[in-house]
Structure 1
Amino acid sequence: MIRHRFARASLAVTLALASAFSAEVALAGDGASGPAVQFKGQGSIGEIVGNPYKIAPLTAVIRNGGHELSDAEVRIVPKPNGQEIHYKVNDAELRTHGGIPVFGLYPDYNNTVEVSYTRFDGKEKVRIEKEVYRMYAPAVYTPTNGSMNQHHNMFETEVVKVDPEFADRLYFINNFLTTAPQQGRVVWNNPMGGALEWSYYPQNAILDTKGEVRWYMNPDSIYDPESIYRAGVMMGFHQNADGKITFGYGQRYAKYDILGREIFNRRLPANYADFSHALMVADNGHMFLRVSAADQRRPDGKRVHTVRDVVVELDENGVAVDDWRLWQSLDPYRDVAIKAMNRGAVCLNIDETLDGKTLSSEELAAMDTQDNFGDMPGVGVGRNWAHVNSVDYDPSDDSIVVSSRNQSAVVKVGRDKKVKWILASPEGWKGELASKVLKPIDAKGNPIKCEGSKCEGGFDWTWTQHAAWRIDEKSDKNIFYLSVFDNGDGRGMEQPALAEDKYSRAVIYRIDQQKMTVEQVWSYGKEHGFEWFSPITSMVEYQKDKDSVLVYSATADLNLKLFHQQAANPVINEFKWGASEPSVEIRLKSTMGYRAFCFDVDKAFNAEAK
C-alpha cells in the first residue's frame, strides 16, 4: 500500500512538471515566453556574478538588472581589525561591466559588500545610499608542483610595521613558483633555450597592509605550461595611467583590467621572441618591451637567436615602430663584470652547483671556438652578454634607459641609438663609451675619488642591478633622478671571501646630464647585510601620492644551495622620501619574488578622476 501511494505521488509530480513544461513550450512557440533574466538578486538591481572573466576569483560584478546605473561607490567591509577597501566607480566602468564591479573580497570568506548608486529605469532616477550584499569568495587556488617550497596555497605574510599614513596601501606582488614537471616537458636544450627555460607558474596577488590576500590571478584560462605560445614567466607588471595592468610572458604581451577583462593578449611580432622582465608604457600608449632578436646574422655570418639584448617599441596596434639592438650601441665583448659574477645565480638561471664560481677569460674565449650559443653568461651576440632586465622611457629627450645586469650598468640610449651616459664602474669601457661614464660627486659638487671600481665617501655603483627607472616627478630635461635596486653580486668587480659579506641596496641617484656627473642621494640595505641580500630580481620605485619609495627585496634569504628545497623570504618596505628607516615592513615567506608595485584601486575604477 505504501508503495502504491508513493507511485501515485510520483506520477502526480511528473504530470505537473510535464504540464508546466508543455505550457512553456507553447508560449515559446508563439514568441517570447517571459523575461530574459529571471535570476533573483539580493538587492534591488541584478544578480551577482563571481569571477566574471575567469582569472580574478576575488572579484565580482553586481549586474545592473536592466537599469542604467551611475555614481556608484563600493565598500568591502573589513574583517575585525582588517583593512577597508573603498572606491568610486565611474559610469564608463559601470557600462563596460554591465553592473557594479567588486574588487578586494577576502578568500574563503562570506564577505559583506556595501554599495551606493543611482539607478534609472526609464522613468525616474532613484538614489540608493546603501545597499548590502553578502558574497562568498572561494579560497585561493595554486596548483601543486611537488616542491618542498610549497606549504600553503599562497605565500605566508608577517606584518612587522605599518605607519598610519600607509595603512590604506595595497601591494601588487609579482611572484612565481619554480618549474613543475609539466612545464619541464616543453623546455628545449636545457639549460639553454630562451623564454621557456623560465616557464614558472605565476603567483600574482594583491596584499593589504594586514597581510591579507585581496586579489589573486588564476591564470589557467590564459596560461598553458605545455604550450610554447602560452607559457613563460609573467613579468613586467605595471598599472598604467588608465588604471589597467600590462605585462608579458614568454612570446606574449597583454593588457587586462583588474577584474580580468582582456583588453588585448597578443603574440610578439614575428621579428622578436622571448619577452621577459620589462614592459613599460609611454604616455602616448606606445609600449617598450625587452625581447630578443628571433633571427640575427652576426658579423661572422653565423645566424643566432639573441638573448635579452633588444628593446622593441610597439604602437597601440602592435606595430613595431622602432627597436634598439643593444650590441650596436654598447660593447658586447666587455667582459669584466661578467667574469666577476656568481655563476650560480644569473638571474633565474639558478644552478647551485656553480654557486660561488666565476668565468675565466679562457672559458669565455672558448665559447666562440666551440660555437657555444644560447642562454648562458658570455660575450658576443647570441649569448647572455647584456641581460637587460628593465627599460624606461624619458620623454624629455626621446630616449630609453636600460638596466644591463650582466654589465652591471645602467645606460641611457637615444633614438639615434647612441649612448648618452653610463652609470657603471669605468673599468672595461673603451673608446667613445669610456667618455660616457658618469663621474661621481658629493652633495657639494666635489669630485669623489675612485680607484678602479671602488669609491670613497660612501658612493658606490650598482652591481647586477634591477629596475632602473626615471623618477619623472623629480626630473627635468637636465636633472635625472634614477631609482634602482643594486643587487650587489660582483660588487667591486670581485666575489668576496665569504658569501655572507654580500649585501644589496635600494639606491637613488641624481644625474646632471650636462655636466655628466652623478650624486648618490639615498641608499638603504647595506646596514642590514646578508639577511636583506637579494642575489636576483627585486625593485625600487618612487610613489608620487605619498612622496615615498617602495622597495621589494624579492629574493632576500635565498639559499642557492637549497634552491629546490627552500625558497626566498622577500621583504616589502616603503620609505618616506629621504627616510633612513622604513614606514612599512611586510615579510613574505617561502616564495620566489620578482617585483611589486603599489596598486591604486581608485585609478582602476575611476581613472577619469585622476
Structure 2
Amino acid sequence: MNKKITYLVLGCVLGAGATYAACGLLGKQASLTDTSNSVVNSAPKQLTYADIIIPPEGDYGQPVRTLIQDHTKIYNQFVSDVQTAAVNTPVSIIDPYGLAPLAALVGIHTDEPTQAEVIILGGPGEPVRRYKPTEVTQTHILPILGLKADTANRVQIVIHSKEGAPQGSYNLTLQTNPLAVSTPKPEVKKAKADNFHHKLYFVSPSEGEGMGKQSPHTIGLDEKGTIRWAFNPEMGATPLMKPWKDGTWLAFMPNKLAGKRGGASKYLMAFDLTGRVHNIWKAEHRLHHDFAILNDGRVSIATDGPQPFKIEDVAITATLTDKPNLQVDETLHMESVLKRRPLILDTQAGYLPSYDWFHMNGIDENPNGTYRVYSGRNQSATVAVNNDKSLRWILADPAGWPKSMAPYLLKPQSDDQGKDNAVGFEWSWGQHSPVFRDANHLFLFDNGNFRSTKFATATPAHDNYSRLVEYKINDDNTIEQVWSFGKERGHKLYAPYVGGVDYITETDSVVGVFGGIVRNRLGNPSDIVAGTFKNAAHVIEVSHTTPPEVLTELVFENTDIHTDRGYMIYRGTVCDVYCAYTK
C-alpha cells in the first residue's frame, strides 16, 4: 500500500490529514484565526511530499528500511518549506507521517537566531502543556503533542530572544479529525481533580474474544481518560513503548507497519510521537514481552534462543547502531544460571514443561548498574543476575527449588525473636513488570496465579487477587514487603495474565495496569487464560501511601452478557508527551 501525503498552503486554521497552512507574525494576544493579520494565498500552491511506502506482506527486507528514508524526506521537505516561507511566518501540518493523528509539526523561520516555546492550551481545569527547546536557531521545527481528537485545539508559539526575553507569539488553531470508530474509550471510574498533571498513560487496549483475534490500538490517555495521543490503527499497535532520547521512543515495531500480518515482530524501532520513524533494527529471533534501556545506553531485550522446542528464556544485550541489524553484545540463557522447579503454571496452558519453562516477561536494571532482574512468570520467580552472568538472588516462594538454588533465595526479614518483621508479607506469583524505584526497592505486578506450587493448596480464582507490590531487597539477601495495593479489591482486580506497574517520581504515585482480568459472561472470575473468556482491564493510579488512595481509575470493559468480547492491555508506560525530549 502506498500512501501519498499532500499539503495545501491555505490559511490559518489547520485541518487534519492533508492540510498545511502559513500565517503571519502577530502580537502576544493576537489570534491566527484573525485573517486580517494573516497571510492567505489567493492561489494555493499544492505541495506533494514523498510517498510513505508500506512494504508488502511478509517482506522484511529493504522496504522496511525504506520507511526511514521516506520519513526523512518528509521531514527535510517540511524544513525546506519552512525556510522558504515568508520570514516570521509559521507553517503547520497535522499528522505529517500518517501515523500519529493527534500530533503536528509547526515550523517558523525567524529573521535572527531565537528560541521558541510551545504551549498547548487546554480546556477548563486542564493543565497547560509546555515544551521549550534550549536550541537557539533561526529555523524552528516544533513537535505539537497532546492534542484532542475532533477538536479545534489551541496552540501558542512564543518566540524568545536568544537571551530568553519574550518577543511575540502566534496563536494557532489545529483542527483534528475524529479517531477511528474502533478506538477503545475507557469508562472513568475516578479522576481526582488535583491529580490532573501532564502525564499520559500509554497503553494498547485490544478488543476481542479471549485470546482470539484482537483489534489493538496504541493510545495515550490523560488522567481524565481523554485520548491525547494515538497510533494509526491501520498500521497495527505496539504492546510496549518507552522513552529513549532526543525526543525518540523505543518500541516493538507494529507488525503491519513492518509488512507482516499477524505474529510477533523481530523489529525494534525508534520513533517520535509525531509519527516519524528514525531507525529500525532487526533481531535474529522473535522479540517479546519487554526490553530495558540500560544505564550505558544499550538495551536488554527478551527474545527466543535457537532451540526449536524452547521459548522465552533468553535475553540479549544489544548496542543500537546505524546498521539495520541489532548488534548483540551478550546473550543470557536463563538455564545457564537458574535451575528450574516444577510449578502449576508449567502445565496450565497444556505446554510441555520444557517448552515455556521460564516465560521471561520483564527486565530491569538496578540503578547502580551492577545487575539486572528478569521476571519468569512460569517459575513465579524474579531472578537477579550480575553483570558477569552469575546468579545474585531469587525472589520467589522457597518451595520446590533444587538444593543448589537454596543459597540464593531471598528470606523475609525477621526480628530478634525470629518473627516475620514485614507486616502482611506475601510472595509474588506469575508476576510481571519488575521496576526499580531505587537501588534497594523493587516494584512488581503480582498476578497471583494460584498462590501455591501445588493444585492441592491453590487459591481459587474467586478468592484470589492481583497486586501492585513493593519489596525492599537488603544487602544481606533478606526481603521486606513495604507497600502494596490490590488485595483489598479481591477478585474484582484478579488478572491471571499480563499486567504492569510503574512508579511516578514526580507525584510519588504508582500506576498499575490490571490488564488481563478474566471472567465468563456472567462476571465470574477464572484462572483460564486459553480459549474463550471475557477480558477486562483497569488502569489505576494510586498514591504511594499506606493505605493507598485511588487517584485515577480507567476501565476498559464490555458488560454485554451476550458476547465474549472484552478488552486486554498487556502493559503500560507513564510519561509526559514531551518527556523523551528531556532525556
TM-score per shorter chain, which class? 0.7 to 0.9
| Residues 1:469 and 1:136: Cα distance change in structure 2 (over 3 Å) | same
| Residues 1:241 and 1:264: Cα distance change in structure 2 (over 3 Å) | closer
AA aligned opposite 1:47: V
Aligned runs of 1:448-527 on 2, under 5 Å? 448=419, 458-472=424-438, 475=439, 480-494=440-454, 496=458, 498-513=460-475, 515-527=476-488
| Residues 1:93 and 1:111: Cα distance change in structure 2 (over 3 Å) | farther
Please state how far the C-alpha of 1:602 moved relative to its aligned partner: 4.2
AA aligned opposite 1:62: V
AA aligned opposite 1:215: W
The root-mean-square deviation of aligned C-alpha atoms, in Å, is 3.5
AA aligned opposite 2:353: V
3-state SS of the aligned residue for 1:327?
A: helix
Distance 2:554 2:310 in 1: 38
Deviations 1:432-453 (A, max 9, x none): 21221111125x576456xxxx
Distance 2:231 2:136 in 1: 20
AA aligned opposite 1:545: E
Distance 1:446 1:116 in 2: 65
Q: Could you say which residue in structure 2 is the equivalent of 1:366?
A: none
Please state how far the C-alpha of 1:204 moved relative to its aligned partner: 1.3
Please state how far the C-alpha of 1:128 moved relative to its aligned partner: 4.3
Please state how far the C-alpha of 1:575 moved relative to its aligned partner: 1.6
| Residues 1:246 and 1:497: Cα distance change in structure 2 (over 3 Å) | closer
AA aligned opposite 1:284: D
3-state SS of the aligned residue for 2:465?
A: coil
Distance 1:522 1:42 in 2: 58
AA aligned opposite 1:212: T
Q: Could you say which residue in structure 2 is the equivalent of 1:88?
A: 131
Please state how far the C-alpha of 1:266 moved relative to its aligned partner: 1.6
Contact 1:112–1:133 (CA<8 Å) still a contact in 2?
A: yes
Q: Could you say which residue in structure 2 is the equivalent of 1:601?
A: 577
Q: Could you say which residue in structure 2 is the equivalent of 1:50?
A: 94
Q: Could you say which residue in structure 2 is the equivalent of 1:141?
A: 180
Deviations 1:84-132 (A, max 9, x none): 3421231559889x52221111101122212212489xxx999543321
Please state how far the C-alpha of 1:41 moved relative to its aligned partner: 8.8
Distance 2:416 2:151 in 1: 57
| Residues 1:489 and 1:399: Cα distance change in structure 2 (over 3 Å) | same
Contact 1:471–1:481 (CA<8 Å) still a contact in 2?
A: yes
Distance 2:398 2:362 in 1: 21
Distance 1:558 1:274 in 2: 30
TM-score (structure 1 length as normaliser): 0.70
Give aligned-pair identity as a percent: 26
Q: Does 1:246 align with 2:250?
A: yes
Contact 1:403–1:467 (CA<8 Å) still a contact in 2?
A: yes
3-state SS of the aligned residue for 1:569?
A: strand
Contact 2:107–2:142 (CA<8 Å) still a contact in 1?
A: yes
TM-score (structure 2 length as normaliser): 0.73
Q: Does 1:328 align with 2:336?
A: yes
Q: Does 1:258 align with 2:266?
A: no
Please state how far the C-alpha of 1:581 moved relative to its aligned partner: 2.5
| Residues 1:40 and 1:418: Cα distance change in structure 2 (over 3 Å) | closer
Contact 1:524–1:580 (CA<8 Å) still a contact in 2?
A: yes
Distance 1:577 1:548 in 2: 8
Q: Could you say which residue in structure 1 is the equivalent of 2:183?
A: 153
Contact 1:576–1:582 (CA<8 Å) still a contact in 2?
A: no
Deviations 1:298-337 (A, max 9, x none): xxxxxx25311101000122311101111111124x2134
AA aligned opposite 1:90: P
| Residues 1:261 and 1:446: Cα distance change in structure 2 (over 3 Å) | farther
Q: Does 1:175 align with 2:211?
A: no
Deviations 1:370-401 (A, max 9, x none): xxxxxx63322xx1110010011225353220
AA aligned opposite 1:461: W
| Residues 1:240 and 1:544: Cα distance change in structure 2 (over 3 Å) | farther
Distance 1:598 1:456 in 2: 29
Distance 2:278 2:135 in 1: 15
| Residues 1:500 and 1:424: Cα distance change in structure 2 (over 3 Å) | same
Please state how far the C-alpha of 1:564 moved relative to its aligned partner: 5.5
| Residues 1:112 and 1:39: Cα distance change in structure 2 (over 3 Å) | farther
Distance 1:205 1:446 in 2: 52
Q: Does 1:377 align with 2:339?
A: no
Q: Structure 2 unaligned runs (5+)? A: 1-42, 44-79, 254-264, 521-525, 559-566
Aligned runs of 1:148-547 on 2, under 5 Å? 152-162=182-192, 164-178=194-208, 201-218=215-232, 220=234, 234-240=238-244, 242-249=246-253, 250-268=265-283, 270=284, 273-293=285-305, 295-296=306-307, 304=308, 306-317=310-321, 318-332=326-340, 334-338=341-345, 342-343=348-349, 377-380=351-354, 383-394=355-366, 396=368, 398-442=370-414, 444=415, 447-448=418-419, 458-472=424-438, 475=439, 480-494=440-454, 496=458, 498-513=460-475, 515-547=476-508
Please state how far the C-alpha of 1:54 moved relative to its aligned partner: 2.1
| Residues 1:396 and 1:37: Cα distance change in structure 2 (over 3 Å) | closer
3-state SS of the aligned residue for 1:164?
A: helix
Contact 1:107–1:213 (CA<8 Å) still a contact in 2?
A: yes
3-state SS of the aligned residue for 1:555?
A: strand
| Residues 1:456 and 1:321: Cα distance change in structure 2 (over 3 Å) | closer
Distance 1:244 1:523 in 2: 33
Equivalent of residue 112 in structure 1, options 142, 154, 163: 154
Distance 2:423 2:82 in 1: 73
Q: Could you say which residue in structure 2 is the equivalent of 1:99?
A: 141
Q: Could you say which residue in structure 1 is the equivalent of 2:562?
A: none
Distance 2:136 2:576 in 1: 16
Contact 2:540–2:551 (CA<8 Å) still a contact in 1?
A: no
| Residues 1:69 and 1:218: Cα distance change in structure 2 (over 3 Å) | farther
Contact 2:373–2:384 (CA<8 Å) still a contact in 1?
A: yes
Q: Does 1:570 align with 2:544?
A: no
AA aligned opposite 2:243: Q
AA aligned opposite 1:73: E
| Residues 1:578 and 1:46: Cα distance change in structure 2 (over 3 Å) | same
Equivalent of residue 131 in structure 1, options 156, 167, 170: 170
Contact 2:206–2:215 (CA<8 Å) still a contact in 1?
A: yes
Point out the structure with max Rg over C-alpha.
1
Q: Structure 1 unaligned runs (5+)? A: 1-19, 21-35, 143-151, 181-196, 224-232, 297-303, 344-375, 450-454
The number of equivalent residue pairs is 473
3-state SS of the aligned residue for 2:252?
A: strand
| Residues 1:93 and 1:448: Cα distance change in structure 2 (over 3 Å) | farther
AA aligned opposite 2:220: I
Distance 1:533 1:589 in 2: 14
Contact 1:57–1:137 (CA<8 Å) still a contact in 2?
A: yes
Higher helix content, 1 or 2: 1
AA aligned opposite 1:111: N
Equivalent of residue 62 in structure 1, options 103, 106, 114: 106
Distance 2:130 2:224 in 1: 19
Q: Does 1:548 align with 2:506?
A: no
Contact 1:55–1:218 (CA<8 Å) still a contact in 2?
A: yes
Distance 1:38 1:393 in 2: 42
Distance 1:104 1:278 in 2: 25
Distance 1:82 1:305 in 2: 55
Q: Could you say which residue in structure 1 is the equivalent of 2:62?
A: none
Deviations 1:60-92 (A, max 9, x none): 11222576664322222223x352342123155
| Residues 1:215 and 1:342: Cα distance change in structure 2 (over 3 Å) | same
Instruction: Single out whichever of 559-568 and 417-426 deviates more from structure 2.
Output: 559-568
Distance 2:153 2:345 in 1: 52
Contact 1:235–1:278 (CA<8 Å) still a contact in 2?
A: no
AA aligned opposite 1:133: L
Equivalent of residue 580 in structure 1, options 548, 552, 565: 548
Q: Could you say which residue in structure 2 is the equivalent of 1:184?
A: none
